[in-house]
Amino acid sequence: MNIQEDQIIGELVANDYRTASVFKKYGIDFCCQGNRTINDACEAKKIDEKLVVDDLNSVLNSKADSGIDFQSWPLDLLADYIEKKHHRYVEEKSLEIKPYLDKICRVHGERHPELFEIKEHFNATAGELAMHMKKEELILFPFIKKMVKAKQENTKLDKPNFGTVENPIQMMMDEHTTEGDRFRKIEVLSNNYKAPEDACNTYRVTFALLNEFEQDLHMHIHLENNILFPRAIELEKQLN
């Protein structure tokens, strides 16, 4: 397979997650802004698209395992996986990171006032994601599972209160964009998670945890925006 400049980034990552490492290398968002072509993303970043395409082809032509093929998973299984792996991760890590941020703000905030901004952004993300995930768990994911069951059993699907699955999906994608933007601010404020020379161990651990949190969020959003949501929209069309 040879990559072309007009291919959609999110579709490439959905088909083979190894390509995500290339987009990360060039600072190209493959989750919240995965609906762009390689050419569009490179123009916006002022990057030579040939370098990106060459790296992508190199990755795809390597013999390394492409990892889990999420595209082949049933939608109900994928929704369960996202909830049990990524939703739980957000819940657990939010509780772990908040006290660390409180501590380093208290100890280092006078010399590094950007820590207060990082703390403010992270607390906002933790609160918004908690509400976001509940909407998925109580409304969107159960409807996706109902669609899967209706398809399997060849039964009629009752129309949901929200009209079409595209309505809550668009809301979730808008919220993904908001949190992706917020974490980009944290990345900048933290100097790409590089702790300063006078940082204590807690400071360094906090930045490492924030970095890990962002990487998990990228995968979380990718699985929804680029795989679960488009397939759910297509499934609804098949059932109607």
Minimal CA–CA distance to 190: which of 222, 216, 212?
Answer: 212
Per-residue pLDDT of the chain (240 residues; tens, 9 = 90+): 688 889 999 888 888 878 888 898 898 988 888 889 999 999 998 999 999 999 998 888 875 555 688 999 999 999 999 999 999 999 999 999 999 999 999 999 999 999 999 999 999 999 999 999 999 999 999 999 999 999 999 998 888 999 999 999 999 999 999 999 999 999 999 999 999 999 999 999 999 999 999 999 999 999 999 999 999 999 999 998
Chain position carrying tokens 């207060």 = 116
pLDDT digits (tens, 9 = 90+) for 136-155: 999 999 999 999 999 999 99
Report residue 176 as tokens: 């993904």
pLDDT digits (tens, 9 = 90+) for 12-55: 888 887 888 889 889 898 888 888 999 999 999 899 999 999 99
CA distances from 5 to 37, 80, 94, 106, 163 (A): 7, 34, 38, 48, 36
The CA distance from 174 to 232, in Å, is 17
